[in-house]
Amino acid sequence: MVTSTLAEVVDLERHPIHDLAGREGRALVEHVRAELAASGACDLPGFLRPRAVALTLAGVAGIDAFHMQQAHDIEFSGRNPELLDVDDPRRFHVRTAKGCIAYDEIPAASPLRIAYESDELTRFVGAALEVDPIYRQSDEIGALNVMVHEQGDELGWHFDNADFVVTLMLRPSPLGGVFEYVPMLRPADDANDDAVRALLAGDRAGVREIRAAAGTLALFRGHHSPHRVTPVESETARVNAVLAYARTPGARLTDSARQIFYGRN
């Protein structure tokens, strides 16, 4: 695989992350901030060029993703449900099953790594999220990963521990595998357990769907907005990348997280 330049990977004409001081760069940042303020999510279609998407998929096609499956509560708290109050929403468990390809398994010349490892994208993410300073995560396994949802896989309803998540869609599933979320269901000053219980019981009030096309960069505030990926119903797997950033330098996954998601420390 031949190493590409950032301009060959990212459509800089449409998404000028390399010139945030310019008029169009400032407009892009303001657009993302406005979308995040309004709904907690912002999609940027066509961020990765089609050839970059194709090369990224080709580069990971022969890698066996580590497949994990677990039942968990909406907070990934690990609490014993029998020790919780009878009306605690954490008594309700959902299912997550997915494959993970670790950072150190992604080819060095992959367009995905070129995008993630660029200072231009890091600065853009920080500006859009209003996080200054911001750093790429330092974990050599989990800083960047490719998630593979095969037929029957899903991501159960959950809140993120992190303030924000950045993803790149590489291949949507033609059937199922839909990203769903409820904007700001749990504000900072209210656990809103009644609404959380209703959601887990099947209440669709406020649920929004995002059906991102390949090449879409997504920024999402999932700490207050529960979200999930519905079960993939197609033989064509859903493939997306998760790009990890942190507010402090040197951030790494815990050993337990490495073991759960990648099967190694």
| Amino acid 256: pLDDT | 87
| Amino acid 55: pLDDT | 97
- Residue 175, pLDDT > 80, answer yes
Average pLDDT over residues 244-257: 93
Beta-bridge partner residues of 101:
146
Q: Indicate the Cα dihedral angle 216, 240, 186, 127, nearest 10°.
A: -50
Could you please state the CATH topology (level 3) that the domain comprising 6-262 is classified under.
Jelly Rolls (2.60.120)
3-state secondary structure of 201: coil
* Reported pTM: 0.94
| Amino acid 162: pLDDT | 85
Average pLDDT over residues 206-221: 96
3-state secondary structure of 257: helix
d(C-alpha 156, C-alpha 246), whole Å: 24
Beta strands per DSSP E along 105-207: 135-136, 144-149, 155-158, 165-171, 179-181
Tens of pLDDT along 100-145?
999 999 999 999 999 999 999 999 999 999 999 999 999 999 999 9
Q: What are phi and psi of 89, to 5 degrees?
A: -65, -15
Q: How confident is the model at residue 265 (pLDDT cuts 50, 70, 90)?
A: confident
